[in-house]
Structure 1
Amino acid sequence: MSNHNEPTSSEGRPGPHKSKRPLFFISGEDFYFVAYSILLVLEYLGGTARRVKDHRKIAYLIQFLGDPRLIDLLERTNGAKVANPVDRELLFSSYANAELHKREVFKIIFSMERRGFLKMQRTDNAQILDISLTNNQIPQSFFSNDAFSEEKANAERLKKLLPRLSMLTFDTLLERLYQDRGVRVWAS
């Protein structure tokens, strides 16, 4: 039964953040979770323009925005390799999950752009898009909702660890999040 204080979607479904969970697979309900997460990445990690250069970064940033254990790990290992096997597995799992969901994130970005929530801008590379929030479609009260307080706190911590996060290249982001900590990556 739904709690009357629980955030809901426009169809009356429970909002994605009542039962916070890492994104392991995509089901029908997870599309809402991914859509909310994309909006939160752009709002909280997109800088003053609420934009992320290179849409491919969003799948990885969703992982960190939604899991404070990953932020804790980054803070503890800043400038060092991950020695603890449990931490290494957590970090690798976040990478693998992001890789698994890049296509779904891309499809949802296109869907949200068609609905007017996002703006896509082509770059010099035809396969890479810069993504930004539109100013008129999402009420600011959406982002000030207490349901997103953990994601907002995670974003603030992540921005301190990786200044100018929204402007980092895709390769630099992967290097700072994973490779600098000893996790091998294969993304392209």
Structure 2
Amino acid sequence: MSRVRRAVTVTVTAAALTVPLLLATGCGIATTGVVESGRAGTVKLATAPDPGLLYFIAPDGALVPLPVSDRAQRPDIGFTIGMLLEGPSEVAREAGLTTEIPVPDVNSPDAKVKGLARGPVKVGGDDKTIRVVLPLPVEPLSGPARRQLACTTLQAVSVRPAPEILLIGSDGKERTAVCEIRPEG
């Protein structure tokens, strides 16, 4: 073997051994312990343009958003809140989702058509307070029911920073509501 060939072989061999050695040492980067980084990231799923979301209750008590299927035809917030008042769809119920909002009886003599709850819902307000006038009393509404209404309302109006939600019931009473996805405690 010639001197040049031997020198090249030695150089290549040395380089081949040096690269794994550098990789193994990490090039002087010090190791660290586990670094807490907060909550996991979230991803928005691709859906139809602005479908609106209805919030229902999962078995663990957390609120779960479901897209409104026909919001594109009726994009107003009263329609969206009215759909929430009708309760979860059959598919959502089969998935274990429930509501704490008393669902109007569409089979009552006063209900001429399905969608009774959609008509009387009125929403108004300013940048600081959104008033939601409901066709049911608000005094007996549970905390989860008020959370459902607040989250659905805030999603429908898309106002930032989030204003206060004031629920006004058919009983003339008023209750504030806060959007919290997870139950307190």
Superposition TM-score tier, normalisation by shorter sequence:
under 0.3
Q: Scaled by the length of structure 2, what TM-score is found?
A: 0.26
Q: Scaled by the length of structure 1, what TM-score is found?
A: 0.26
Task: Say which one has the larger Rg.
Answer: 2
Higher helix fraction (1 or 2): 1
Higher strand fraction (1 or 2): 2
Choose between structure 1 and 2 for higher RCO, CA contacts under 8 A separated by at least 6 residues.
1
